C-alpha cells in the first residue's frame, strides 16, 4: 500500500492510498478517514460507495462527513467505483458503463471479467487491507452509498447481514435490472441471462429471500433520475411483509447532487453510529 496523501482534519487523519489490486488487476485508489479515537483502540468502520462517474474523491471533497465522524469515532472508507488504467476496457462516451461505472458487480463476460470485479474488491480484498493497515474494528461495520453506490451498499448488506450492522443509502438504484440507465450495463458485465442479475438487484434479492433488519433511504423529490432509474417505492413494495424495516424519507425539493447528500450526511452518520457504537 502506498500513501498518496494525509491531512489532519478535526483531529483525525484523512488519507488517500493506492495499491496493486489482484482482484481488479490494476492500481486502485481509496480514501480512509481515521478519527482521533483510534489513538485509544480500534474503531467501527463505515463504508461509503460512490455513484456513477465518481471516484473516492467526490465524497471526500463534498460529502462533509469528517466533523461528525470524528465526534462519533467512525472510520470512513471510500473505495473507487471501478478499475482504472489504460489497459482497462472502457466506453469513453458512455458515462453509464466502464470506468466510473463498475456497478459493484463481478463481471463474467469476456473483455470485462479480468478487471471489473468490484463486488469482490469491496467485500474481500479491500476489507482485508483495511483490517491489516488501519485501527479498524471489523466486527462493527456499516455500509452506505449514493445512487449506484446506494445500489451497491444495499445489495452487499442483503448478502452479508452477518457482517454489516447497518445500511443506508442516498437515492439508490433499487432495481437496476429494470432501470434504463443500469440494465444495459448489467447485460454487458453479466450476460443476457437475467437470472444472473438478481444477485445484484436489491428488490430481487428480497424477493429471493435475502433479509436485513433495517434500511434508511433518503431521496430527493426534485431528483431528475427519480422516475427513470431510482424508484425507491419499488423497494418499499418488495420489503413489505418481509420483516425488513424501511425508513424512507422523501426530501421535498432536493436533487441528486452532493448538496443533497451533504445536507443529510449527519443523519446517516448518526444512524450508523447508533448501530455500530
The pLDDT of 88-112, averaged and rounded, is 95
pLDDT band at 244 (very low <50, low <70, confident <90, very high): very high
Q: Could you tell me the three cell numbers for 76?
A: 470512513
The pLDDT of 79-105, averaged and rounded, is 95
* Residue 201 clears pLDDT 90, i.e. is over it: yes
Q: How far is CA 246 from CA 132, 137, 177, 213, 236, in A?
A: 34, 26, 21, 9, 7
For 30-72, the pLDDT digits (tens) are 999 999 999 999 999 999 999 999 999 999 999 999 999 999 9
pLDDT band at 209 (very low <50, low <70, confident <90, very high): very high
pLDDT band at 272 (very low <50, low <70, confident <90, very high): very high
* Helix, coil or strand: residue 33: strand
Q: What is the pLDDT of residue 20?
A: 98
- The dihedral region occupied by 41, where left means phi > 0, alpha psi between -120 and 50, and beta the remainder, is left
Q: What is the pLDDT of residue 212?
A: 98
Average of per-residue pLDDT values in the chain: 97
The closest alpha carbon to 171, from 213, 226, 238, belongs to 226
| Distance from C-alpha of 236 to C-alpha of 218, rounded to nearest angstrom | 12
Torsion of CA 84, 199, 58, 17, to 10 degrees: -50
- The dihedral region occupied by 73, where left means phi > 0, alpha psi between -120 and 50, and beta the remainder, is left
> In which element (H, E) is residue 185 found?
helix 183-190
pLDDT band at 16 (very low <50, low <70, confident <90, very high): very high
- The dihedral region occupied by 143, where left means phi > 0, alpha psi between -120 and 50, and beta the remainder, is beta
So what CATH class is 2-276? alpha beta
For 171-199, the pLDDT digits (tens) are 999 999 999 889 999 999 999 999 999 99
What whole-number percentage of the chain has pLDDT above 90? 98
Are the C-beta atoms of residues 110 and 79 closer than 8 Å to each other?
no
CB atoms closer than 10 angstroms to residue 51: 26
Active-site residue set = 147, 223, 256
Sorted by where each begins, the domain ranges of the chain are 2-276
Strands (E), 79-231: 136-146, 164-170, 214-220
**Straight-line distance from the first to the last Cα atom of the chain, in angstroms, rounded to the nearest whole number:** 28
Amino acid at each position: 500500500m502506498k500513501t498518496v496523501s494525509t491531512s489532519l482534519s478535526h483531529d483525525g487523519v484523512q488519507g488517500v492510498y493506492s495499491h496493486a489490486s489482484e482482484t481488479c488487476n490494476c492500481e486502485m485508489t481509496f480514501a480512509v478517514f481515521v478519527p482521533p479515537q483510534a489513538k485509544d483502540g480500534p474503531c467501527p468502520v463505515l463504508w461509503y460507495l460512490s455513484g456513477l462517474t465518481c471516484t473516492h474523491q467526490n465524497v471526500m471533497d463534498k460529502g462533509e462527513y469528517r466533523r461528525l465522524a470524528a465526534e462519533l469515532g467512525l472510520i470512513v472508507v471510500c473505495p473507487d467505483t471501478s478499475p482504472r488504467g489504460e489497459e482497462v476496457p472502457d466506453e469513453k462516451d458512455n458515462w453509464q458503463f466502464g470506468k466510473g461505472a463498475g456497478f459493484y458487480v463481478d463481471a463474467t463476460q469476456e473483455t470485462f471479467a479480468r478487471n471489473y470485479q468490484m463486488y469482490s474488491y469491496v467485500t474481500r480484498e479491500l476489507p482485508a487491507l483495511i483490517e491489516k493497515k488501519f485501527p479498524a474494528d471489523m466486527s462493527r461495520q456499516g455500509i452506505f452509498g449514493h445512487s449506484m453506490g446506494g445500489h451497491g451498499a444495499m445489495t452487499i448488506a442483503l448478502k452479508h447481514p452477518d457482517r454489516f450492522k447497518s445500511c443506508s443509502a442516498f437515492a439508490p438504484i433499487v432495481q437496476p435490472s429494470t432501470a434504463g440507465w443500469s440494465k444495459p450495463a448489467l447485460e454487458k458485465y453479466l450476460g443476457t441471462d437475467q437470472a444472473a442479475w438478481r444477485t445484484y438487484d436489491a428488490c430481487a434479492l428480497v424477493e429471493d429471500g435475502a433479509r436485513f433488519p433495517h434500511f434508511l433511504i433518503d431521496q430527493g423529490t426534485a431528483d431528475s433520475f427519480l422516475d427513470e432509474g431510482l424508484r425507491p417505492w419499488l423497494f418499499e413494495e418488495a420489503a413489505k411483509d418481509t420483516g425488513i424495516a424501511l425508513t424512507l424519507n422523501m426530501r421535498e425539493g432536493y436533487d441528486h447532487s452532493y448538496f443533497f447528500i451533504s445536507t443529510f450526511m449527519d443523519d446517516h452518520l448518526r444512524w450508523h453510529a447508533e448501530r455500530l457504537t
